[in-house]
Amino acid sequence: MPEKCCVPGCRGNYEGTAEHDQEKVSIFRFPKDPELRAKWIRLIPRENLFVHDKTVACEKHFAQQFIIRFDSVTRTDGSILTVPRKNPKLSPDAYPSIFPNIPSYLTSEPSRKRKAPEQRRLEMSARDEEQFQQWLSDDQILSFDAFCEQLNSFVAGVDSQWVVIRSCGFVNICIVDMPDVPQFVTVVKIHDTMAVEVYRGNLRLGNADLRWILGDECKLFSWSQLSSILSHFASVTVAAADVSVKSQADTVKQQLQELIALTNESDDYEPDVTTRLKFLAEQISLLFMSQSRYSSETLLIVFRFFAISASVYSRLRSTMLMLKVKVKVNVDLYSASS
């Protein structure tokens, strides 16, 4: 005949109840450790509880985390065999905390055991990774239409000085100044191909000024890129004069290239016009080249001067950078162009 549970009002391990419920209610002896035993006695709401060797409390008063129902054995091959225990036992730190028949203020569940540090670290890094992936996918701009849809709320979140002006096939995000005549200080123009151009004052910045954030194609892929562009160009308050000479020269060169393409395609201009434009474009390139390199066209012109009039050639050579070409190079030119 097993001992009855010592908790007042508890019929947890009464035979009749147990059979009726078709469940076996385990009982546990009080711990030997005097400190822990005192804790049990303090917690169990029974006056003058006298504990002897056979005093027991049933499992209904213990949180699940304290009850050990399985044994595990490590096999020789390292795998773990888990077997259910015939009689559950308590973990060494177990104490009773659940007393269904007494007021709730005397019942308190122990706090959940803290997870092992390694387990917590893994969970946290998994959560970080998940959040990072989420951020990455939110950051992607999937299409120009999706971009246009979200643009206003994005710009509003960035900085109020930017104004969005939409047009067919592109969007301008602008900073407008109103001294006498309203003028665009900075314009970030985004085409429906997601190609980006930036204008300061009347000048278009060369792609070199955008490559650091947009890559070689100067295309926008993510909201964070746009955020960087806007904050970069908003923080540098630019008068056009602040734009570097190199950058302005690049702009002029780009415009010249456009003119060259135009005159090339059209019959309205003497072929000579294209040639002269090319010459100018090349001269601008030469301004920023550490070592001069000449196109075959230029070398041909130089050679023509030389062939027609040596005095004209030497005069030009004394005044112009491009003409400091050794004549022997022109021998190669002949074979290349013939």
Which residues form the interface with Zn ion (CB under 5 A)? Answer: 5, 7, 10, 12, 58, 60
Nearest distance from C-beta of residue 140 to Zn ion, angstroms: 59
Which residue type is seen at 9?
G
7 vs 141 by CB, closer to Zn ion: 7
Nearest distance from C-beta of residue 61 to Zn ion, angstroms: 5
Nearest distance from C-beta of residue 57 to Zn ion, angstroms: 6
12 vs 31 by CB, closer to Zn ion: 12
7 vs 323 by CB, closer to Zn ion: 7
Which residue type is seen at 337?
S
User: Is residue 153 within a helix (H) or strand (E), and if so which, with residue range?
Assistant: helix 144-158
Burial of 191 (0-12, 13-18, 19+ CB in 10 A): middle
Residues 189-197: contacts with CB within 8 Å, 24+ apart?
190/144, 190/147, 190/220, 192/144, 193/144, 193/219, 194/141, 194/144, 194/147, 194/219, 194/220, 194/221, 195/219, 195/220, 196/220, 196/229
Is the CB of residue 160 less than 8 Å from the CB of residue 170?
A: no
40 vs 147 by CB, closer to Zn ion: 40
45 vs 110 by CB, closer to Zn ion: 45
Nearest distance from C-beta of residue 78 to Zn ion, angstroms: 40
Dmax over CA atoms of the chain, in Å, equals 131
- How far is residue 187's CA from residue 167's CA, in Å, rounded to a whole number? 13
26 vs 251 by CB, closer to Zn ion: 26
SS3 163: strand
64 vs 82 by CB, closer to Zn ion: 64
Nearest distance from C-beta of residue 34 to Zn ion, angstroms: 23
57 vs 243 by CB, closer to Zn ion: 57
Nearest distance from C-beta of residue 79 to Zn ion, angstroms: 38
- How far is residue 143's CA from residue 55's CA, in Å, rounded to a whole number? 74
Looking only at the bridges linking them, the beta strands covering 183-191 and 203-204 are unpaired
Sign of dihedral through CA atoms 283, 285, 290, 293? negative
CA atoms within 13 A on the CB side of 52: 3
Nearest distance from C-beta of residue 84 to Zn ion, angstroms: 22
3-state helix, strand, coil in the chain (%, to 5): 45, 15, 35
Nearest distance from C-beta of residue 137 to Zn ion, angstroms: 54
Tokens 């000085």: give the residue: 161
